[in-house]
Amino acid sequence: MTAPTSAAGQLLSPAVFGENDRVMVTASRISLARRRRGLTAAELARKVGVSAQSVSNYERDRQRPTVATVHGLADALGFPAEFFFRPEVAELPGAAVSFRAPSKLPGRLRGAALGAGQLATEISGWLDIRFALPITGLPSLHRPDPETAAEMVRAEWGLGHAPAPNMVHLLESRGVRVFSVPGECAEVDAFSFWQGERPFVFLSTAKSPERCRFDAAHELGHLVLHAGAPALDGPSAESEANAFAAAFLLPRADVLARVSRGPLVDQVVEYRSRWRVSALALTYRLHDLELLSDWQYRTVCGELSRRGFRRDEPGGVPREGSQLLAKAFRALREHGSGPQEIAAALAIDMEELNSLVFGLVVTAVSTEGTSRMNGAAPDWHPGGTGLRLVP
């Protein structure tokens, strides 16, 4: 017996269909959920108690699973059964997603991150319908060198040579959707992609706030330098994005005006607070600007390593979080709703949602709007965020 297309709750109701009845699911969502959990088809098959060929057939829409199998898939993958009946979600082209050292990244980890990216695009789409959000405002630069590109973006955004503000807020104000990398994908570090006209950036909260700021600038470099590139794999793209990030966060004119030639380690540690970057990133930039000789550069790097700056950033800055998501959750709460509505609408659990929104779900659920995540307070107001509910 084949089920008609209708709500999942009706499809799986024992009053309508038996456990052995076959039902119509969205095949691509089985594949999405499997990749999100980092499983192979064979591994998923063993968990569900079906053959690997059956899983492959489900994902290719060659065979419809039974009601019992849908429940088994839901249990094995940690998604509500309703998830497999939702509409198609656009697949992300892996070659057009920027990953750090992609050749060293395990395939299942890459797949899990891409799966998280697909879910985040659904969250973004849900918010787009209900809120008036900033439109995309990234410049098209026609591939200048990274240093020039960083200066051009700064000029267009009115930053001049001043230190960059909160990077997450800045990107969000220009229409970039910023989400967090789930904890199990922390090895991915950060990644970005364009979906149609909308840019997305994903940042790991497992890294220091300074490194997270650099990652945000690095991914901005990918978005403005490599938009439309058929593939982003390779050291040249990563090198260009790194150079862009260094120039964007540490503008040449400001650094040269404030740092004397040959600074000592303690001076480097003190200077970093102005630009809110890691001591090692600043050291690299000072060497690049010829304020440190080769020997001085090696000496400073060695001393910073000895002091533990490669592992952490002692005395660092607060973490930067999403202003847009925090405001959206607050607005939903004020209208008698909350993150639970997003999770229910997208058929994902709260833990999955929380892993993508910088842990803001816990704050939104457990407070009445009096608590804030570090970095959530705005420090960048380009004409306001434009965030408002759409009737």
pLDDT in tens, 92-145: 877 778 887 666 788 899 999 999 999 999 999 999 999 999 999 999 887 899
Contacts of 327 (CB under 8 A, 6+ apart): 385, 387
Contacts of 208 (CB under 8 A, 6+ apart): 278, 312, 313, 316
- Exposed / middle / buried, residue 203 (Cβ in 10 Å: 0-12, 13-18, 19+): buried
- Give the pLDDT of residue 379: 41
Domains in the chain: boundaries: 8-85, 93-391
CA-closest candidate to residue 298, choices 315, 316, 308, 286: 286
pLDDT of 45-99, one tens digit each?
999 999 999 999 999 999 999 999 999 999 999 999 999 999 998 888 777 788 8
CA-closest candidate to residue 114, choices 57, 171, 33: 33
Distances (CA, A) of 210 to 78, 217, 255, 279, 303: 33, 11, 17, 9, 19
Mean pLDDT of 193-206: 93
- Give the pLDDT of residue 47: 97
Is the pLDDT at 2 greater than 70, yes or no?
A: no
pTM of the model: 0.89
Q: Report percent pLDDT > 70 for the chain.
A: 85
CATH number of 8-85: 1.10.260.40
- Give the pLDDT of residue 372: 36
